[in-house]
Amino acid sequence: MDSEREEDLWDLLRQAVRLSEDDFERLKVGGLKMNYLRVCPRKLWLFAHQVRLEADAEAVAMGRLTHERAYRDRPRRSMILENLIAIDVLEDEGTILEIKHAPTFVEAARLQLRYYLYFLARRGVHLRGELRFPRQRRRETVTLDAAAVAEVEAALREIARIEALPTPPVVPWMPACRRCAYAPLCWG
């Protein structure tokens, strides 16, 4: 994309942003909370209230292993921004990578990656994102457009609303509950 067209795109995105800088500073969260919002609001609430059960979870271990082993031949840099988000950037492409073990919660992964792009765009850094599922040899480009900005800002407000609840929200059982580290707290 030529630089003039890219600058026009970012001007349009700036117009799409509805959160003030103060609101963003108050509402910004780690990327995992964005993911959990789409996976399960109850899991989000428990995680936000310092209930951390995933350290020994098999699915988390598999995801960590996939992340460590995938694309070792590509020059990438891992970084943590503002002690909130951890990103991998492909240095030769200027692309943020989000590597997932499986596409089970692809909508959650998309939202998480859109949030990273939004977070960086608010700081004047404009990159593209790519979801990668190495086991399936699948990749998906994720971009930030006006609809994605609106989705991220709505998600930030929804996360704040859920975190402020006095008790975790009630959610229906779903197949993912079978492998969830938080299942004993939900289903005894």
pLDDT at residue number 81: 82
Higher per-residue confidence, 117 vs 90: 117
Whether the CB-CB separation of 92 and 74 falls below 8 Å is answered with: yes
Distance CA 178, CA 59 (A): 11
Q: Which two tokens stand for residue 95?
A: 């692309």
Angstrom CA distances, 178 to 19, 43, 57, 105, stand at 37, 13, 12, 15
Phi/psi-derived region of residue 124, left when phi > 0, alpha when psi is between -120 and 50, beta in every other case: left
Distance CA 102, CA 79 (A): 23
- Name the range with the highest mean pLDDT among 6-15, 38-47, 173-182: 38-47
Higher per-residue confidence, 143 vs 11: 143
Backbone angles phi, psi at 96, to 5 degrees: -80, 130
Domains of the chain: 3-187 (3.90.320)
pLDDT at residue number 60: 53
Higher per-residue confidence, 29 vs 166: 166
pLDDT band at 55 (very low <50, low <70, confident <90, very high): low
Q: Percent of the chain at pLDDT above 90?
A: 37
What Rg, from alpha-carbon coordinates, does the chain have?
Answer: 17
Higher per-residue confidence, 183 vs 45: 45
**What pTM was computed for the model?**
0.81
**Rounded mean pLDDT, 80-91:** 78
